[in-house]
Amino acid sequence: MDWAIGGQVLGKGPTLARGTTQNGVRLYNERLALSLIRRHGSLPKAEIARLTGLSAQTVSVIVRQLEKDNLLVKETPQRGKVGQPLVPFSLNPDGAFSIGLKIGRRSGDLILLDLTGKVRRKVHQPYVFPTPQKIMDFVAVELEGLLSGLSPEQKSRISGLGIATPFELWNWEEEVGASHEVLEAWRDFDIAAEIAKLGDWPVHLSNDATAACAAELLFGTGSRFNSYAYFFVGYFVGGGIVINGHIFPGKAGYAGAIGSLPVSTPDGSPQQLTHNASLYVLENSLQAAGLDPMLLARSPEDWGEIGAALDFWLEQTARSLAFAAVATMSIIDFDAIIIDGAMPAHVRTELVEKTRAALSRQDLRGLPKFSIEEGSIGADARAMGAASLSLFANYIIDRDVLFKEAF
C-alpha cells in the first residue's frame, strides 16, 4: 500500500467498502507495538501487553515477528524485585531507512533518516529560487553520495522517498523574486513522477508545513500532546493539525494553512499572516539594511548578528502569531499551539517567549486554556517530515490500516 499523510502521488489509496481482514488486524497490532516503542524508547513485552490490552501470547507473536524482520532489537535484561528479568525491546536503527527531499523557496535539503528518526546524512543546497531543473539536478547529483555509506543490505531496507514542497509555487513570483515564466514551469511539472525515475522506491508527496508537523509529531515536542495546531515559520509561514495523535491533512492537504489567516496590522487593516510572520519579510528588511538576505537560507542554524531588523521582525511575527493562535483555538480546542521554524534555536526560543507575551494581551474570553509550546526540530523539520512519509505508510500506527490491502 503506497499512500500516506498529505496525499501521495504514486500508488493506490484506501478503498472504502472493505471489511477488516485478519491480516489487517495483524498489521495494525504490529504498528501499534512499533509506535508505542517509538514513543517510550524501549518496552518489555509485558508492558506492551498492558498498554495495548492484547494478550501476552499475542504480544509475543508480534514481537517475535518484528524481531525477525529486524525492526526490533533486544536490550540488556532488567532484573526486577521478583520474577524473571524483563527484556526491553527497542527500534533497530538499521531496520528501515527513508529519504526526504525538501523543496524550499530559497534552499533544498536531501536527507537520509533511519527508523529511530536519526538523520544519517544531509545535503543542503541554497539557491535564489527553485526551478524543476535545479531540483532534479540536485537530487540526481547528490542521491548516490547520500546513500554511499549504506551496505547493500541497508539499501534494501529503504522504505521510500518523501517530498515536502510548497503547493502552488507558481503563485508566489513577487515574494520569491522570480519571473512568471520561471515559476510557471512548476504548474505542469509532476515532481513525484520524475523523482520516481531515479530509484525503485515508493514516492510520497506532502505540503511542506504538513510534513514538518509530521516530524514534530514523530520525533519532537508533539508526542507530548493529544491534539495541537502547529505553526512553522519558514520563508512563508505555514502549519499543520494533529487530532487525537494523528495528522489531519484535510480534503486536499491544506489543513493548517495558517498563512492565509487574516490578521490585523498596526494600522488596523487586515492582511494575510504570510505577509506578517514569514522569513521573506525578514529577508526584505535585511536587504533594505544593506545586509545579505541569503544568509537566512545558507545557514539556518546560525544567522550571526543581524541586529535591529531581527528585533523588529520578532515583535511583528510574535504579535501576528498570537492573533493566529486565538483564531485557531476558536475553531478547535487544541491542547497547545507548537511553534517551530527554519531559524536558530535561540531565535525560536525568543519568538515563542514573545508570542506568549503577545497572547497575554489578547482577549481570551470564551476560549479554553492552552499553551504556546516551542518546537524542537527546527530547519530540518520539513526534510525529516518528508522522510517520515514512508515511515507513516509502513510502520506507524494508522487506524485505516485495518481496511487497506496488504501486498
Kindly state the percentage of the chain with pLDDT values over 70: 90
Phi-psi region of 168 (alpha: psi -120 to 50; beta: other; left: phi over 0): left
Q: How confident is the model at residue 107 (pLDDT cuts 50, 70, 90)?
A: very high
Q: Residue 243: which of 263, 261, 225, 269 has the closest Cα?
A: 225
The per-residue pLDDT of the chain, averaged, comes to 88
pLDDT tens per residue, range 378-402? 999 999 999 999 888 888 875 443 3
pLDDT given for residue 223 in this prediction: 86
Out of 24-38, 150-164, 169-183, 392-406, which region has the weakest mean confidence (pLDDT)?
392-406
Q: Would you kindly state where each structural domain of the chain is located, as residue ranges? A: 97-211+383-391, 224-376
Across-strand partners of 373? 338
CATH hierarchy code of domain 97-211+383-391? 3.30.420.40
More confident residue, 369 or 264: 369
d(CA 267, CA 393): 47
Average pLDDT of span 255-268: 86
Would the pLDDT of 295 be above 80? yes
CATH number among 3.40.5.10, 1.20.1250.20, 3.40.50.300, 3.30.420.40, domain 224-376? 3.30.420.40
pTM of this prediction? 0.87
C-alpha grid cell, residue 37: 516503542
pLDDT tens, residue by residue, 198-252: 999 999 999 999 999 999 999 999 989 999 999 999 999 999 999 998 899 888 8
Q: What's residue 269's pLDDT?
A: 81
- Assess contact for 245 and 264: CB atoms under 8 A: no
Instruction: Give residue-wise pLDDT tens across range 308-331.
Output: 999 999 999 999 999 999 999 999
Query: Which residue is associated with the grid cell 545558507?
Result: 298
Whole-angstrom Cα distance, residue 117 to residue 128?
30
Greatest pairwise CA separation for the chain in angstroms: 73
Q: Are 240 and 232 in contact (CB under 8 A)?
A: yes
Element (H, E) at 228: strand 228-233
Confidence of residue 82 (pLDDT cuts 50, 70, 90): low
Per CATH, 97-211+383-391 and 224-376 having the same topology is answered yes
For residue 390, the cross-strand partners are none
Give residue 162's pLDDT.
96
> Can you tell me whether residue 242 is helix, strand or coil?
strand
Give the lowest-confidence range in 151-160, 187-196, 275-284, 388-397: 388-397
Q: pLDDT tens-digit profile of 320-361?
A: 999 999 999 999 999 999 999 999 999 999 999 999 999 999
Measure the CA–CA gap between 279 and 290, rounded to whole angstroms.
17
175-198: average pLDDT: 86
Of the listed ranges 123-127, 172-176, 180-184, 317-321, the least confidently predicted one is: 172-176
